[in-house]
Amino acid sequence: MDCRKCGACCIAPSITTPIPNMPHGKPAGARCANLNDRNECTLYGQTARPAFCAGWQPLPEVCGQSFSEAMTRITTLEQATA
């Protein structure tokens, strides 16, 4: 599956470690400061990109068919692992 670049994986999950432009991490549901207006990660391909973020892969069972489906599925994963 190719990434739709919807930004759900940059919004729904929490990140508990410091990341560029967010020294205290990111709460679940908050838009990452490194997500541009086209929902693309400005850190993609850079060494500054957190390992947590690099671990996300576009998969149908995670991404679903739409942004709202991806948000729901990733939020459910977030809540199950919190």
Segments making up each domain of the chain, as ranges: 8-81
- Put simply, whether the predicted model's pTM sits higher than 0.85 gets the answer yes
Q: Among residues 20, 27, 21, 28, which one has the least CA distance to residue 50?
A: 20
The pLDDT of residue 81 is: 87
pLDDT digits (tens, 9 = 90+) for 6-48: 999 999 999 999 999 999 999 999 999 999 999 999 999 999 9
Q: Read off the tokens for 72.
A: 């729901």
| Contact indicator for 25, 13 with CB cutoff of 8 Å | no
Check residue 6 and give its pLDDT.
94
Per-residue pLDDT tens over the stretch 54-67: 999 999 999 999 99
